[in-house]
Amino acid sequence: MTARYAARRRNNAIAMALSLSATAFGLGWLVLILFSLLWHGLSGLSLSVFTQMTPPPGASGGLLNPIVGSLIITIFAVAFGTPVGILAGIIYWKNRNQFMVLSPNGPETLPCPVWDDVFPNQDLANLANVVCETNTFFGEIAWSVPQKDGGFVQARLKIGINEPPQWTAGPYHHHTAWIDQNVFGAPLGGHEDGLIDQHDVGTDAFGAALPTSLTTGRIKIAEGDTVTQIRGVFPDIKWISPGTLTMTGYFYDSPDSPARATNPYTITPSTRFIGLRGRGRDVAFQITGNDIGSMWRLGLFRYYGQPDGKR
């Protein structure tokens, strides 16, 4: 045994002895505190502890208000934490041809209604630029995929509780890096020019309006074999701050026919029904906005219509 090795063993023994002594010292006080809590606390338990409010100093009472407060906090934690747990407990990824999920039975293909918007024209030579972006606050996961035209398309999957997965896709600015919820709050995205933007914060772009455009997929009846007669739409918008939106309908006689657009209809917080009318085998709806200060979330739209023959 060399002198250096002996010194190391001696120093290790001293460090272990000190750490164990510190641990025993700390645990000793914790045991005394727990003993005192049980000794004085068990004797004070009664029904009034759970049924009466916290009293002022010197008066009798209970702990009803902190118990109720703890229950409320627990309920909100479960409600907001469940989507986070769903995303954290399931592995998703993108390969060259599909979006995938790791299930108990092994890797499975995710049904993706926006597949045609992402994969046919993806730039296979630059797949290293694909960026996966998660947003646990909204229960979302997205992939920005490079396209042959030099742009990027983002496919976004929203996962809800007791709801089927919801997909959206469209052109998107490219992030070179992404971090989910962090010490600064909402997600952060980095760009090639060195700028960093924070998402889901505020309603405008430095005082200018943020143009909004959402277009649904084509809605069919009997796989497009039957003409659909639309006589109105019931909008479902959750207004966080008031604003104005417009809605336009697009009707198609066949898959390759040009769209017939309706006039745009205005949607405000007081709008309950839109008299949008039209006929076609396929129908799609577009919602746009371009005002300052508004903030809203899209719900489940319903349309009033019926089959109208096979002409």
Does residue 165 contact residue 86 with C-beta atoms inside 8 Å? Answer: no
Q: Enter the DSSP assignment of 309.
A: -
pLDDT at 234: 93
Residues 6 or more apart in contact with residue 203 via CB below 8 angstroms: 210, 241, 292, 293, 294, 295
Query: Which pLDDT band, with edges at 50, 70 and 90, does 82 fall under?
Result: low
φ, ψ dihedrals at 108, nearest 5°:
-135, 150
Mean pLDDT across the stretch 242-256?
91
* pLDDT at 116 exceeding the cut of 80: yes
CB-facing half-sphere around the CA of 193: CA atoms within 13 A? 4
Helix (H/G/I), strand (E/B), else coil: 150: coil
From 88-102, 137-151, 240-254, the region with the lowest mean pLDDT: 88-102
Is residue 229 classed as helix, strand or coil in its secondary structure?
A: strand
Q: pLDDT (tens digit, 9 = 90+) per residue, 166-204?
A: 898 988 888 888 998 888 888 999 988 888 988 888 888
The identity of residue 9, as a single letter, is R
pTM beyond 0.75, yes or no: no
Helix (H, G, I), strand (E, B) or coil at 153: strand
Q: Is the dihedral of CA 83, 88, 91, 95 positive or negative?
A: positive
Q: Is the pLDDT of residue 267 over 90?
A: yes
- Measured CA to CA, the distance from residue 28 to residue 132 in angstroms comes to 49
pLDDT at 248: 96
Structure-token pair, residue 26 = 């700390």
pLDDT tens digits, one per residue of 126-172: 999 999 999 988 888 999 999 999 999 999 998 876 777 889 898 88
